[in-house]
Amino acid sequence: MTIDDRHFMQIALDLAARGCRYTSPNPMVGAVVVKNSTIVGSGYHEAVGGPHGEVNAIHQAGDQARDATLYVTLEPCNHEGRTPPCTEKILASGIKKVVSAMNDPNPRVAGGGNAFLASRGVKIVSGVCEAEARKLNEAFIKFVQTGKPFVVLKCAATLDGRIATRTGDAKWISNDLSRQFVHRRRHEADAILVGIGTIKADDPSLTTRLPGPVYGKSPRDPSRIILDSRLSISETASVLRVESDSDTIIVTGPIDDHPDLLKKRLRLMEQGAILLECPLKNGRIDLSVLMEKLGSLNITRLLVEGGSQVLASALAHGIADKVMFFYGPKILGGDDGKPVCAGKGPEFMAQSIPVRDIVVKQFGDDVMIEGYLNSAGQE
């Protein structure tokens, strides 16, 4: 690997990031075609069902692609999907060398694209900026290997660990800069999940609110998922009336033949909500089963925004891959506010959940701590 290899691959990675959310459930892929140390073509996978990144880059390069080097953030595909195999486009273009950041994480096809190109005389180099490429597509990696979404837990807390006062007031712990960062994360997520307590206390819309377009495109709303085991949601809740292209999904326990709940279920569905039944565990939605159901809906990245019981349940079920905790410079000074997590914790500090690969960012006076809990997508 050379300095030039890393330079051109970083450009390809920056291009790939432009497809975030628009390509889901496909990966983000960027590519550049380089000839005589000059970029002659570039592109990225812009939307699911559209041409892949390397195809767009080769198309832009035209005849200059012959005998050039292709830098691509993911091993070129060698199978027929929504689009033809990228390997065929590469061979037809006359590219002599392919440098990829990582192999395809799909165990059914991993290595196939590189092997096919190598057998046709194309020089293959892989593993350039691999760590960066894996982080970029961490949600896709987990999804394609497990069939479950990559789960990020988000909360905003005071310095003494409270997400609201005893009355439930939480506006605002974090500042405008932090909230804008969170809305960008909402745009990137396929879905956002909260508990019915948050809906009743705050009546949120759970939409993406950004000041302008993202890479020239309108920001996307995540699907809104509400955990509501007893189907107690108000039929006038904002999440049921918001104008959005995304779905509102209400996750409830088994309704059986309860006449009142069956009627309410029908009314909610008439409002456009999707009702998803899930088994209960200790009286609450079994989140492990729910992750499988959400995966079957092609939800690859899930942002969990609380409150206390939902965050605690997510940790107890072991479904979380990443945390994103914001701390505002405020202190409540009592023990009656709402904690980050509710319920019984471990007896000993040795039983706590370790957080690794910590990143600390500052947004004005707010501090965000981000880190990983599980190894999915990070090996």
Instruction: Give the list of residues 6+ apart from residue 49 with CB closer than 8 angstroms, or none.
Output: 82, 83
CA distances to 42, 192, 208, 253, 335 from 202, rounded to whole Å, are: 45, 15, 16, 23, 22
Outline where 18-129 has alpha helix (H): 53-61, 86-93, 112-119
Report the C-alpha gap between 297 and 291 in whole angstroms: 10
User: 76 with 86: CB under 8 angstroms?
Assistant: yes
Report the C-alpha gap between 25 and 100 in whole angstroms: 21
Q: Is omega for the bond preceding 81 within 30 degrees of 0, making it cis?
A: no
* Catalytic site positions: 54
Report the C-alpha gap between 223 and 187 in whole angstroms: 10
User: What length is written for the chain?
Assistant: 379
Helix, strand or coil, per DSSP, at residue 296: helix
Report the C-alpha gap between 101 and 30 in whole angstroms: 10
User: 53 with 30: CB under 8 angstroms?
Assistant: yes
**Nearest-10 crossing angle of helices 53-61, 3-17:** 110
Kindly state the tokens that stand for 254: 């088994």
As a whole number of Å, the CA-based R_g of the chain is 23
Report the C-alpha gap between 157 and 171 in whole angstroms: 11
Task: Find tokens 């709940």 and name the residue.
Answer: 261
Kindly state the tokens that stand for 232: 């107690």
What count of other Cβ atoms lies within 10 Å of the Cβ of residue 15? 25
Report the C-alpha gap between 166 and 114 in whole angstroms: 58
DSSP summary character for residue 63: G
